[in-house]
Amino acid sequence: MKSRTAAAKVLAQVLGKGRSLGGILAPVLAQLRKDGERALAQEMCYGVLRWYPRLAALVERLLSKPLKERDADVRSLLLLGLYQVIYMRVPDHAAVTETVAAARDLGKPWAGGLVNAVLRNYLRDSAHLLEEVDQNEVAALAHPAWLLELFKNAWPHAWQAIVTANNQRPPMVLRVNARHRARDAYLRILEDAGIAACPAPHVSHGVILEQPTDVERLPGFDEGWVSVQDSAAQLAAQLLDVQPGQRVLDACAAPGGKAAHILESQAGIELTALDSDAARLKRVDGNLRRLQLQARLIEGDAAQPAAWWDGVMYDRILLDAPCSATGVIRRHPDIKILRRPDDIAALAELQGRMLQVLWPLLKPGGMFLYATCSILPQENEQQITRFLTAQTDACEKAIDASWGNPRGAGRQILPGENGMDGFYYACLQKL
Ligand SMILES: C[S@@+](CC[C@H](N)C(=O)[O-])C[C@H]1O[C@@H](n2cnc3c(N)ncnc32)[C@H](O)[C@@H]1O
């Protein structure tokens, strides 16, 4: 199998079957033999999903009749053919020839002629076709209409910057394991290895790579010297301010990025990492093993503590709640396609329930950190304001910081601000 065939198969699963890119990409890439083929397939999968609304509008404009559902792979070839000629530096003739060849690899030689005709028709009249589809905001901005509406309502002055940031490639950010060495020492190791990098602002252990790279190329990755984690996510451990001897609950812990950072930052603590998804909890285990860190892992529902709580209160609780992930679209462009408008109210309801039932598990004087990678007020400040109004033994501990924006309650980072992912944090203190 070659890169375009692999990418078409992956994209057909995401677009046709609603599968998440993160869940299906790795095993397909593993079937490609060369590094270059894997990198190309990955770039095409992410790129097509990033620009899907615009590419889909072009495909619709260029096809005389829609393809059948069972030919989602052929439609994916058309999308990735257009992606190559619009957004990549692949020469036009190579993009057309290789994409036509991929139709044969998919076992659909009849589609070769169609792919050839659609791509050549586009190339003959590209400026005019792009101008035509870009009349529509959904295509031009490559976001679904309902999401644009939510962004405009929530961020009337910033929504365009949000959309632009969502369509950009994110930086690769590392977290240096403080148990092994300081950030400056690791930066010198990277320099010796010929990997250009600089310190990430606002976080103590963050390093921004000039170019993304395979983790296998990172010095000491297998030995646990370093992990991949955006700067915005690295703020959680800083804000939680865990002290020696404390009992900490990470209520939605998988894959374990923040739990590991908390453990790296403070020795001699007792951390419980809870998650309802057994497969994702295995990833916490794998990550902690690589980093040589220990925690108590529990598979359980954060909204039903009676089933797993041992009755001893926690000094710190982190609720990194399941959310719309609207702050991390640049990293997970399939969110634009897989998320549905109804999801937002359902997620807000679940987050509210989790807050309510986890609060009694916190010791008086303890701190509760609520976090989401959402930029929607329904999941963030509205949630926390409602909670603070109802909960008489809770007060907000204002976050005094130079990153993000203060909101009615908590602090919001918008995507791309300070180079970070979109994230929301609120610190709640128990009286
Ligand atoms: C935003 S992710 C957490 C990321 C994690 N804190 C990290 O830094 O790596 C949200 C997690 O919540 C988990 N989750 C969803 N519903 C849950 C529930 N009812 N109880 C516990 N965990 C849940 C999901 O499986 C997912 O792993």
Nearest protein CA to atom 25 of ligand 1, as residue: 277
pLDDT band for 98, please (50, 70, 90 cuts).
very high
Q: For a pocket test of ligand 1, which of 227, 275, 304, 370 has the largest count of ligand atoms closer than 8 A to its C-beta?
A: 275
Q: Evaluate if residue 1 carries a pLDDT over 90.
A: no
| Distance (Å) of CA 149 to CA 34, 226, 331, 357, 378 | 42, 39, 21, 32, 14
The answer on pLDDT for 399 being more than 90 is yes
What's the average model confidence in pLDDT over 75-86? 98
Q: What domains can you pick out in the chain, each with its CATH number?
A: 3-142 (1.10.940.10), 172-228 (3.30.70.1170), 231-430 (3.40.50.150)
pLDDT tens figures, 317-350: 999 999 999 999 999 999 999 999 999 999 999 9
Which member of 45, 373, 395, 427 is catalytic?
373
What is the rounded distance in angstroms from the CA atom of residue 340 to the CA atom of residue 336?
A: 9
Q: Residues lining ligand 1, CB < 6 A?
A: 233, 252-258, 274-277, 280, 301-303, 320, 322
- Residue 198 is a catalytic residue: no
